[in-house]
Amino acid sequence: MSASILELRDVEAGYGPFRALFGVSLAVGAGEAVALVGANGAGKTTLARVASGLLAPSAGSVHIDGSEADQGSLPAWRFVRAGVMHAPEGRSVFATLSVEDNLALSFQRAFGRSGLADGLDRAYELFPRLGERRGQVAGTLSGGEQRMLSLARVLVESPRLLIADELSLGLAPMVVDQVFETLSQIRATGTALLIVEQQVGHALELCDRAAVLEHGLISWQGPTNEAGAALESRLFESRAPH
Amino acid sequence: MILASGFFEDLFRGILQGTPPGAVYALIALGFVLTYKTSGVFNLAFGAQAYISAAMYFKVHSVWGWPKWAALLVSVFVLAPLVGLVLERAIFRHLRTASAVSKLVVTIGLSVALPEIFNWAARFSAVAGRQITGIVPDGAGVYYDPFGVYRFNRDELAMMAVALAGTLLLAALFRFTMMGLSMRAVVESPRMTELSGINANRVSAFAWALSSTFAGMAGVLIAPRFNSLSSGDYFTLVIIAVAAAATGLLVSLPRALLGGLGLGWFIAVFNTFLPGLADDHTWLRPFQENLTPSLPFVVLFAILVLWRAVGRQREASDPLAGVDPPPPALAALERHPRLTLFTRLFGVFFVTVVGLVVWFRADVLWMSLVTKAVIIALIYLSVTVITGMGGQISLCQGTFAAIGGFTVFQMADRFNMSVLAAALIGAALAAAVGALLSLPVLRLGGVWLAIATLAFAFFFDAVMVKFSWVGGGSTALLTGTQVPRPLIGPIDFASDRAFLVLAVVALVVVSVVVIQLREGTIGRTLAALRGSEVAAASIGISAARARIVAFAVSAAIAGLGGALLAMHQQNVNYALNFAPIVALFWLVVVVALGSRTVEGAIQAGAAFALFEPLILQGELLGWIVRGEERLPEFFPLSGNWRLILFGLMAMQFARHPEGLVEHGKRRSATRINGWLEAREARA
Ligand SMILES: Nc1ncnc2c1ncn2[C@@H]1O[C@H](COP(=O)(O)OP(=O)(O)OP(=O)(O)O)[C@@H](O)[C@H]1O
Ligand SMILES: [Mg+2]
């Protein structure tokens, strides 16, 4: 196979009897950055879940570094060990653990016991708010702070592929800029990105390829500089059904 | 010594005496908290796990004659973790994201089935009067008396030492190791833990093996205190542990330790002083006899009801719950209309045929079994109201039924009252008790409500039944709690046939009431609360009234059913029908088979009453092969099989928490729907 870190082939997926994806194929190569855009309910989050092993596809296959991931029960932790990390949408933190424990859970595995303190320092440097509240139980953080916490977990680690779902939702504009700044930094170190983002402008600026998801199907994909016009019209179409 | 003054010396002795059992309670509470913290399972089967190790220890040491250390190794450090691993793999892994109530029901099922499975597999049977010896040599024979007031034997010292070591071990595990942190993370969200690169399955397997080891250790340590091994004693032990664990809101290890010790002290001190007081004040005497065995339940109930923090604790929800599909709707709502019509017709046909066969052909035994099935179905409808409609679980339905039964007995025995009138009074009384009980426990959610009602059931069992104005006292001992059949004008229900008709009429009336309740305001309110209490409150739906009504109605139904059952058997038969563990058994059957619908309750009632004679005794097969003499030799199957099948049913339920009947219905409905639609498309 080529240098694709992650490849979805004809993936179909859904929830119980409900189908959300109908034969999606998408590949992310090493160091590449792909923006996934689409209307609400198009299936972006579902695709991200399949791509990180949280949801098993009902048909089709998921490949990491060219080899097929175990069908049926895809254990998400294997994806992480292979370098594919996922920052899920919403408040994805352990509400009963402290800020520090939330981070330590990931960092100790990634950096070992000796690298733990260093990892924590970098996280607090990235988001000083978290450093101030390191002992607080994560469930009592504000919505934005919880977002920061779940981002800190993945941004510090610079995995091989980062799947980020609605990164900037609920963050103050200044923090959003800072997050995208960090993203482009870790991109420069070789991390590939698969980004789901409603702030399309930001996402397109960062990425070199875009894929448009409509009703569970990829309707267009290509370089971001060509995305412009086609993308605009599509998004507006599905947003305003007149 | 300074302690020479009587009162303080007694107090001090009581405390010392209570420390060793307190240490074992603490050990169990620790294991219990460990399971809860690391798997979110409120493990009522913990006592069964403890029992298995204790029985294995006895078998290996006393029967096979192996040395103590080898017996300990086999039973506590090999068998116990193995049991934990198997339970995790076969059952609890699939239940990770299930509701607290379905997890609880599964553990109740296991607490009944596990000891039986072990006894059967290991050909173990407890030898009455033959005690287990402790884990240290000469444990009961060598004494140490450090303070000059109470002599500890070696077994007791071992108990304290092990409890201390266990606490330190767990504290270190949670404070210093990655495994401890991962275990806490897995309970909250296994998926998020996996997204951190941690194998959630391995973590929870480890947690189960560890907590099972605690169970085994505690089981072996406490065994010398019992006269003989019985799984019932071990079940009670868990209730004690729950009381201890509740003081730490189920999550704090140090508080569970203190809670266990505190309970041991409290019971010992209570036992030290009460007899003396009762000598001076005679009115205390009945309490002394009755209250002592129920102290843990009273303490547990008091903690749950009086301590405000308990109700406020909410389970943390999984931030990735959105990955799960929504729970499916009731199969009947999605059925093809033609299929619904067919099902109804078939149902009417089936009931008619069964009715005719029973009416014309059944012998006395079968008539009585069918009557029992009808009455049990009626009692099961009380579960439909609370669990099916309200999504909550009450573990004292047997107690409500017993209230109905005892009322009929008392009214008939003392006042010679008509039993039908007495049955209505019994139902009303049960409703009143239900409503009263619901007031303090209302604010408790999920698992806590279940535990409070379980504590109440045990309290009723240990204290109330002993009073002669409830359980009949000496009358009951001499002649049994006899109940006559009703008599209305010329109709004498002493005839089994007439009584069956009466039971069926009662069942139909109660079914109609339940359906009306479900369609009405109360039912809708309960449905809304079942979804989300917070969301319901935010649109102005109040939980309290609907819950109180549901509790009262449910208790009344159970009371009526209990009264009918007593009339049917012409005896209350409390121990056989309504005692807490028996009641748990029949509760699991209905919840596992389907408590959401009226049909589900009726089918479960039939299954409960008829399964044993029909399948196990081989009557059905005998009828098919025409003649009992042609049955294969292994019939009738032993009663153990009933319990083992029961355990398997609980396991199946783990995978289909909507109820097995409902699951079967949905599967066949989907298949037939597809077929019907395909045919329509062709036409
Ligand atoms: N757990 C679930 N059960 C049933 N259906 C679901 C579930 N989660 C998502 N869906 C449905 O799947 C479809 C795709 O959802 P998805 O979350 O992937 O959309 P999305 O593109 O991420 O939307 P948004 O931009 O709003 O986040 C939607 O129609 C949604 O209603
Ligand atoms: Mg989304």
Per residue in B547-578, pLDDT (tens digit) is: 888 899 999 999 999 999 999 998 888 888 89
Q: Which structural domain, as residue segments, surrounds residue A56?
A: 4-93+161-239
Q: A21 alpha carbon to ligand 1 midpoint, in Å? A: 10
User: Which of the listed residues A8, A18, A195, A235 should we mutate to test ligand 1's pocket, taking the one with most ligand atoms within 8 A of CB?
Assistant: A18
Say if residues B379 and B386 touch (Cβ distance below 8 Å): no
Q: Tell me which fold the domain B2-280 belongs to.
A: ABC transporter involved in vitamin B12 uptake, BtuC (1.10.3470)
Whole-number percent of chain A with pLDDT over 90: 14
Q: Which residues contact B281 (CB under 8 A, 6 or more apart)?
A: none
From A122, A177, A176, A113, select the one nearest A154 (Cα to Cα). A122
DSSP string, B574-623: HHHHTSHHHHHHHHHHHHHH-SSSHHHHHHHHHHHHHHIIIIIS-HHHHH
CATH of the domain at A176: 3.40.50.300
Which one is predicted more confidently, A72 or B432? B432
CA–CA distance, B550 with B400 (Å, rounded to integer): 14
Read off φ and ψ for residue A191, nearest 5 degrees: -75, 130
- For residue A239, what pLDDT band results from cuts at 50, 70 and 90? very low
Total residues found in chain A within this entry = 242
Query: Could you read off the pLDDT of B159-194 as tens digits, one per residue?
Result: 889 988 988 898 888 888 888 889 888 878 888 898
Which one is predicted more confidently, B100 or B174? B174
Position B235: which residue type? Answer: F
Q: Is 80 exceeded by the pLDDT of residue B274?
A: no
User: CB distance from B334 to chain A under 8 Å?
Assistant: no
Q: Is 80 exceeded by the pLDDT of residue B542?
A: no
> Which runs of E-coded beta strand occur in B252-350?
none
Query: Could you read off the pLDDT of B504-521 as tens digits, one per residue?
Result: 999 999 999 998 888 888
Task: Dig out the tokens for B16 from the structure.
Answer: 């010392």
Predicted local confidence at residue B600, as pLDDT: 85
Position B602: which residue type? Answer: I
Predicted local confidence at residue A47, as pLDDT: 93
Q: Is 90 exceeded by the pLDDT of residue B433?
A: yes
Q: Is A84 left (phi over 0), alpha (psi -120 to 50) or beta?
A: beta
Residue A126 falls inside a structural domain: no
Distances (CA, A) of B102 to B95, B97, B312: 8, 10, 21
From B77, B91, B347, select the one nearest B215 (Cα to Cα). B77
CA–CA distance, B606 with B658 (Å, rounded to integer): 19
Query: Could you read off the pLDDT of A105-144 as tens digits, one per residue?
Result: 888 888 888 888 899 999 999 888 889 988 898 888 888 8
Instruction: Point out the residue among A75, A81, A92 whose CB comes nearest to the CB of B320.
Output: A92
Q: Is 70 exceeded by the pLDDT of residue A223?
A: yes
Top-confidence range, B6-15, B310-319, B653-662: B6-15
Predicted local confidence at residue A115, as pLDDT: 86
Q: Cβ contacts (< 8 Å) between A54 and chain B: which residues?
A: 191, 194-195, 320, 323
**How does DSSP classify residue B321?**
G
What average pLDDT does range B412-426 have in this prediction? 88
Q: Which of A52, A58, A96 to mutate to test the interface with B (most CBs of B within 10 A)?
A: A96
In DSSP terms, A220 is beta-bridged to: A212
- Shortest alpha-carbon distance between residue A92 and chain B (Å): 6
Q: Which ipTM was obtained for this model? A: 0.90
CB atoms within 10 A of CB A52: 26
- Shortest alpha-carbon distance between residue A64 and chain B (Å): 15
Contact B195 A76 (CB under 8 A): yes
| Element of type H or E holding B200 | helix B200-222
**How does DSSP classify residue B570?**
T
Say if residues A211 and A221 touch (Cβ distance below 8 Å): yes
The owner of tokens 């639609």 is: B677
Residue A125 falls inside a structural domain: no
Task: Dig out the tokens for B181 from the structure.
Answer: 């942190």
Predicted local confidence at residue B1, as pLDDT: 42
Predicted local confidence at residue B553, as pLDDT: 94
Q: Which residues contact B582 (CB under 8 A, 6 or more apart)?
A: B398, B575, B576
Q: Which residues contact B344 (CB under 8 A, 6 or more apart)?
A: none
In DSSP terms, A28 is beta-bridged to: A6
From B433, B450, B465, select the one nearest B551 (Cα to Cα). B433
Q: Is 80 exceeded by the pLDDT of residue B249?
A: no
Predicted local confidence at residue B3, as pLDDT: 43
- For residue B113, what pLDDT band results from cuts at 50, 70 and 90? confident
Instruction: Point out the residue among B188, B191, B328 whose CB comes nearest to the CB of A76.
Output: B191
Q: Is 70 exceeded by the pLDDT of residue B121?
A: yes
Q: Cβ contacts (< 8 Å) between A86 and chain B: which residues?
A: 195
What average pLDDT does range B106-113 have in this prediction? 87
If you average pLDDT over every residue of chain B, what do you get? 82
At B139 the three-state DSSP class reads coil
Distances (CA, A) of B330 to A127, B98, B606, B630, B681: 48, 17, 21, 43, 25
CA–CA distance, B601 with B586 (Å, rounded to integer): 11
- Shortest alpha-carbon distance between residue A228 and chain B (Å): 32
What average pLDDT does range B137-166 have in this prediction? 82
User: CB distance from B324 to chain A under 8 Å?
Assistant: yes
The owner of tokens 């928490």 is: B657
Q: Is 70 exceeded by the pLDDT of residue B536?
A: no
Predicted local confidence at residue A242, as pLDDT: 40
Atom of ligand 1 nearest to the CA of A44: 21
Q: Cβ contacts (< 8 Å) between B193 and chain A: which residues?
A: 77, 105
User: CB distance from B333 to chain A under 8 Å?
Assistant: no
Whole-number percent of chain B with pLDDT over 90: 18
CA–CA distance, B277 with B288 (Å, rounded to integer): 9
Q: Is 60 exceeded by the pLDDT of residue A2?
A: no
At A30 the three-state DSSP class reads coil
From A157, A208, A163, select the one nearest A186 (Cα to Cα). A157
Contact B181 A101 (CB under 8 A): yes
- For residue B682, what pLDDT band results from cuts at 50, 70 and 90? confident
- For residue B402, what pLDDT band results from cuts at 50, 70 and 90? very high
Q: Which residues contact B314 (CB under 8 A, 6 or more apart)?
A: B445
Query: Could you read off the pLDDT of A155-182 as tens digits, one per residue?
Result: 888 789 999 888 888 888 888 888 888 8
Say if residues A231 and A37 touch (Cβ distance below 8 Å): yes
Contact A15 B325 (CB under 8 A): yes
Contact B198 A108 (CB under 8 A): no
Task: Dig out the tokens for B361 from the structure.
Answer: 């052909």
Task: Dig out the tokens for B87 from the structure.
Answer: 């339970």
Structure pTM? 0.83
CA–CA distance, B279 with B286 (Å, rounded to integer): 12
Residues in the ligand 1 pocket, defined by CB under 6 Å: A 15, 18, 20, 38, 40-46; B 322, 324-326
Contact B320 A18 (CB under 8 A): no
Q: Which of B174, B195, B202 to mutate to test the interface with A (most CBs of A within 10 A)?
A: B195
Residue A53 falls inside a structural domain: yes
Residue nearest to atom 2 of ligand 1 (CA): B325
Residue of B nearest to A163 (CA): B195
Q: Cβ contacts (< 8 Å) between B323 and chain A: which residues?
A: 15, 49, 54-55
Domain count, chain A: 1
Measured from the alpha carbon of residue A44, the closest ligand is 1
Atom of ligand 1 nearest to the CA of A49: 18
Residue A232 falls inside a structural domain: yes
From B503, B505, B485, select the one nearest B494 (Cα to Cα). B485
Atom of ligand 1 nearest to the CA of A21: 14
Query: Could you read off the pLDDT of B604-651 as tens digits, one per residue?
Result: 888 888 877 776 666 666 666 656 566 666 656 666 676 777 777 777
- Shortest alpha-carbon distance between residue B196 and chain A (Å): 5
Contact A91 B326 (CB under 8 A): no
Predicted local confidence at residue B130, as pLDDT: 65
Residue A207 falls inside a structural domain: yes
Query: Could you read off the pLDDT of B66-88 as tens digits, one per residue?
Result: 898 999 999 999 999 999 999 99
Q: Is A207 left (phi over 0), alpha (psi -120 to 50) or beta?
A: beta
Residue nearest to atom 25 of ligand 1 (CA): A40
Where are chain B's structural domains? Answer: 2-280, 366-596
Helix axes B598-611, B496-519, angle to 10 degrees: 150
